[in-house]
Structure 1
Amino acid sequence: MTTRFLSRTLIALILLGSFFLIWPASPVRFNFLAGPVRAAPPVAGKGQAKIAPEVQAALNSLQAGEMLSVIVTFKDQANLNQLAVALPRFDRAARLKHVIEQLQAKANAGQRAVKTWLTRRQARREVGEITFFWIFNGLAVTATPAVIQELAVQPEVLSITPNEIIQGPPLPPAEQGELGILATEPNLSLINVPALWDIGYKGQGIVVANLDTGVDGSHPNLAPKWRGGTNSWFDAFPSDGNPNTPVDIAGSSSGHGTQTMGIMVGGQDNFSNTFGIAPEAKWIAAKVFKNNGSGTTAGFHAAFQWLLDPDGNPATPDAPDVVNNSWTFGNPNSCNLAFQADLQALRAAGILPIFAAGNAGPNASTSYSPANYPEALSVGNISNSNIIYPGIGGFGGSSRGPRPATASGCNPGTVFPDVVAPGVNIRTTDRFSSYTNATPGTSFAAPHVAGALALLLDAFPNLTVDEQEACLVNLAVNLGAAGPDDTYGHGRIDTLAVYQAILSGGCYRIHLPLLMRDN
């Protein structure tokens, strides 16, 4: 195990104790909702330090009758590190149930007084929409400046931050390649996926998920693989899409979410090209963007929470095994911790958060959050020739490290990304019930890692999150200069090498002779 990984894991464990596709970020905007009240001037004094400067600036600029949407975080948060170590090692259902129930209990107790107070203010039309969260102890609320100021002085409130809206620009032109018969796509061979197929592992019994623009649920390649039911589709903006049936937003070019899902679970296209990594896995999905391409902080919190308990019943373990995130938040070389508690909850529940590194390269120090969190496995982008992708036109290449040097929450100064995978000229599904070569970018490298993990969990279903991460990182094929670096991270993932190392107990220095699924 590398020193880099040990350090990263240690920091992650310490932290456990206590949106936006991979496109360049646009300026942050705030979600203003009109209300029938006059804006009150901000009141300086007690509680003012809890209000983020961006929120205070927005409050100062509100016109009469306007409200502001904010995220309220409470002081009393669940001890996720304590939860993780207290759970049975091999009982996934028990782990999920316990984590969910503990998070819910903490939120219910901590939010009770504020919930009653806000409900009364809502009746007076001083508060608009309220969303209560348990994945972290907090809420999203649209309210008048006076209400927000009063929230800040409540003793249980830790902070009030913006419910940010981030707008992604259009995707750059797709890089089209030869669409003839290639049998197995070269990107799959590069990471040794066919070797796992030959052994008999194709993702059987594994459920993958993405947080993205949605997924075209009618695509002939993907429709049979949707898990189905009322617990397999989440739309953060149901009035803007379809709350019951998977769709991909019309504004996402060829369908960004449909493309990332196809890389994970697709089978063969109409040329008999085999392109999906785990074709026997099932999928669920969360649509976190409106048709105009924008999402909100609150919408992502809601989606992460849904992932942990899709049917709303902690006793039924219906969370996905693998989650892909091909999106970033904030600006390059920044450490925005808005979603850190969400990722900590996923890891405590046994789910490894896989994130695209971002496309702000080729310059150094261009990492994005949440990919640069210690809780995330960040994935950079290479071509099928092992070349780090430089970018095309105004669309940046794969983001480079190191991580932000002064941000304690993002492993300051350490190597970024963690690993790399193919992300150039990738054959996959699109939202027109057809196939495309996806636009080059880390958006399409990350689902290679997610799909590979689905194969490995088919073979070794009881791998812990730390084991999953350690094996993918420690068995990566070194590229560039010897050792980890800020271009290739620890190297290109190698699915077969991980499989063989687990059999011999070599990638995590443990012996797992009884963890394999009988084939």
Structure 2
Amino acid sequence: MRRLPSLSAQIAACGLLAALFASPAAAQRTYMPSGPSDGYGGSSTGRVPDRTPERYPEPRRPRPQGYPGGGFPGPGIGIIVAPPIYDAPPLRVIYEDAEPAPSRPARKPDKQKQKQKPAVAKKPPPASPPPAKPATTARPAAPPPPVRAVAAPDYVPDEVVFELKPDISEAEIAGVLRRFALTPLARYDLALLGTSIQHARIPRGSAVPTVVRQLAADPRVASAQPNLVFDGQADEAVAPVAGRPELAGAQYAPDRMKIPEAHRLAEGRDVLVAVIDSAVDPAHPELADALIDPDAKVKPHTHGTGMAGAIAAHVKLVGIAPEARLLALDALRYDTTGAAKGTSIDIITALDMAGKRGARVVNLSFAGPRDELMARALRALRLRGAVLVAAAGNEGPKAKPLFPAAHPDVIAVTATGPDDALYAQANIGAQIAIAAPGVEVMVPAPGGAYQVLSGTSLASAHVSGVAALMLQGHPELTPAQVREALVRTARDLGKPGRDDLYGAGLIDAAAAVAAASEAAATTPAAASPEAAAIR
């Protein structure tokens, strides 16, 4: 008969088993899969998949205290429980359409300029310090005046934009691309600036600021910068609704701006307004016959359609300049949430097209970081006689000024509501020139529908419409004269006189149109580049 282990041996064996199962490391090894660490005590190849959207990454949600995937807090024997899988934080949807937000539309390849759409880096969290601004060597012949410091850069993580020096040969251009291992995406000849710019992708693993500095130091390169990202500035949306005959009665904005009185004097007839935005719905009844060269192939977006309608709607809604002509320049695209985002290269080429087509008013309902090349393009457009109007931004009163509204050649517009109260998310500061309605504004939506939007984007579009009214009868007015009339006739809000919240106050369209007539009758055309360009 086989002898059983002694009682003391059995007790010792049980103790060893208890110690083994009580070990946190053993418990963790029993569950956790192998693979590189993900920074949270887990594995990047384990049960917590990376659900980050490819084009607009979001930070992972921190794991709560006591999360079981990192090992058990103390000794003991128990059932090993697999940890829950946490989804990525929900994306903030800016526009809420009747249908799910469409995917980013694919642009038809251009045979002459093969352009690939970038992935876009996420803005750094507000609490983190902004990254150092990339150095450039942009030395335009007539540099624009200084612009106030603006928000930290947000740029495409693997792309750069650089300006070539005059008379550079194709061999030298190829040498620049080869030296920095850049993949060319497209090259543009900008008539507005009299220069050429190259759009390129940097090598995998390279840092954009580093490549920008290296490019700027190359003797064949005039300037270099990241491909910065800009956002449409309409933050809130009500689901689009079918057209109703009483929609005009839901509009408070025309009365607050005295549009009915202004329309007795002008309706913006044949004034060309460039709308640099996301795609506009050319088939919407509110925009019938308003768009020149409409592009029916591009899927329309709520933001661009809304801004165009705020300016020129003329069926069931009261647009500010219902007889203006709109040049819709598709520079903003969908991101993964359906929001409108654009990059430096798209916006600068749109500004160049606005200059080629002779736009007298340019609406810029987007905002982002300061862009050196865009600053030069804005200055060149103003010197050609274009009135530039931009959204102040929806980052809140504690945010830094945003661009292009912070550019001195641009009329920065903030938003107010039905009671003239300031929009809660509006940026404030010395750059604010004037205020206009921008809270819960009824505008067209794609597919013949209507929507209610809020944000400084709407306010900018309203001021662009008023500028068109002023220029209808007096196309000889310079951008400076238009700005002066708008500011002088505004109705003061807030503290007496100009302030950083409302600027000069709420726009008064009727008074501004009358002031334009007075300026044209009493003030000779200034001997300025703007006046010369208009003549």
Match runs of 1:376-455 below 5 Å: 376-390=410-424, 397-401=425-429, 415-437=430-452, 439-455=453-469
**1:247 Cα deviation after fit:** 3.8
> Structure 1 residue 464 and structure 2 residue 511: aligned?
no
What's the counterpart of residue 315 of structure 1?
none
Aligned to 1:325: 364
Which whole-Å CA distance do the structure 1 matches of 2:483 and 2:220 have between them? 35
- Which residue matches 2:259? 193
CA deviation profile, 1:444-489 (whole Å, cap 9, x unmatched) = 1111100011111112111111111111112211111101111111
Match of 1:355 in 2: 390
Q: CA deviation at 1:323?
A: 1.1
Do the aligned partners of 2:250 and 2:442 also contact (CA within 8 Å) in 1? no
Q: 2:142 aligns with which of 69, 79, 87?
A: 79
Shift of the 188–149 alpha-carbon distance from structure 1 to 2, 3 Å rule, reads closer
The equivalent residue for 1:103 is none
Deviations 1:226-259 (A, max 9, x none): 123xxxx6xxxxxxxxxx436455xx5xx10000
- The amino acid across from 1:348 in the alignment is L
Change in 2 beyond 3 A, CA 1:264/1:247? farther
The 1-side partners of 2:225 and 2:496 are apart by 42
Contact preservation (8 Å) 2:273, 2:360: yes
Pick from 327, 330, 336 the counterpart of residue 284 of structure 1.
327
TM-score, scaled relative to structure 2: 0.61
The separation in 1 between residues aligned to 2:332 and 2:371, in whole angstroms, is 19
Q: How far does the alpha carbon of each residue in 1:78-99 deviate from its partner, in whole angstroms, 9 at most, with x for none?
A: 4389xxxxxxxxxxxxxxxxxx
Matched, 1:111 2:166: yes
Tell me if the contact between 2:231 and 2:367 (Cα under 8 Å) persists in the aligned partners.
Answer: no
Deviation at 1:428, TM superposition (A): 1.5
What is residue 225 of structure 2 aligned with on the other side?
A: 161
- The yes-or-no answer on 1:342 pairing with 2:377 is yes
Question: Does the Cα contact within 8 Å between 2:94 and 2:236 map onto a contact in 1?
Answer: no
Question: Using a 3 Å threshold, how does the CA distance of structure 1 residues 484 and 176 change in structure 2: closer, same or farther?
Answer: farther
What amino acid does structure 2 have at the position aligned with 1:79?
A
Determine the structure 1 residue equivalent to 2:523. Answer: 510
2:435 alignment partner, SS class: strand
Alpha-carbon displacement from aligned partner over 1:215-236 (angstroms, at most 9, x marks no partner): 01111221321123xxxx6xxx
C-alpha distance after superposition, 1:424-449 (max 9, x if no partner): 22121111212222x21111111110
Q: CA RMSD in A?
A: 3.9
Choose the corresponding residue for 1:488, options 481, 502, 505: 502
Q: Summarize the alignment of residues 255-274 of structure 1 with structure 2, pairs less than 5 Å apart.
A: 255-269=302-316, 274=317
- Cα distance in 2 between the residues matched to 1:450 and 1:308: 16
Report the CA distance between 1:308 and its aligned residue: 1.0
Q: Which residue matches 2:281?
A: 216
- 1:130 is the counterpart of 2:186: yes
Distance 2:512 2:451 in 1: 30
Matched residues in 1 for 2:524 and 2:142: separation? 29
1:400 is aligned with what amino acid? I
Q: Tell me if 1:245 matches 2:296.
A: yes
Q: Tell me the distance in 2 between the aligned counterparts of 1:170 and 1:493.
A: 19
Alignment partners' CA distance in 1, 2:493 and 2:350: 35
The residue number in structure 1 matching 2:272 is: 207
Q: Which has the larger radius of gyration?
A: 2
Q: For each residue in 1:122-161, what CA deviation from the matched residue of structure 2 results, as whole angstroms up to 9, or x when unmatched? A: 6998542232343344433335579978744433534422
Q: Is the 8 A contact 1:381 1:424 kept in 2?
A: yes
Give the aligned residue type for 2:440. Answer: N
Q: 1:382 to 1:142 in 2, by over 3 A?
A: same
Unaligned runs of 5+ in 2: 1-55, 57-92, 96-116, 121-130, 145-162, 526-530
Q: Distance in 1 between matches of 2:417 and 2:456?
A: 11
Specify whether residues 502 and 436 from structure 1 end up closer, same or farther in structure 2 by C-alpha distance, changes over 3 A only: same
Contact (CA 8 Å) 2:227, 2:343: kept in 1 or not? Answer: yes
Q: TM-score, normalised by structure 1?
A: 0.63
1:167 deviates by 7.0
8 Å Cα contact 1:23/1:169 also seen in 2: no
Query: Conserved in 2, the CA contact under 8 Å of 1:258 and 1:429?
Result: yes
How far apart, in 2, do the equivalents of 1:307 and 1:161 lie?
Answer: 22
Q: Which residue of structure 2 aligns with residue 93 of structure 1?
A: none
Structure 1: gaps spanning 5 or more residues: 1-19, 25-29, 34-51, 57-71, 82-106, 234-243, 310-317, 391-396, 402-414
**Distance between the aligned counterparts of 1:322 and 1:167, measured in 2?**
20
* Whole-angstrom CA distance in 2 between matches of 1:187 and 1:169: 18
| Contact 1:73/1:160 (<8 A) preserved | yes
**Cα distance in 2, alignment partners of residues 386 and 143 from structure 1:** 48
Q: 1:417 to 1:262 in 2, by over 3 A?
A: same
In the alignment, is the contact (CA less than 8 A) between 1:275 and 1:428 conserved in 2?
no
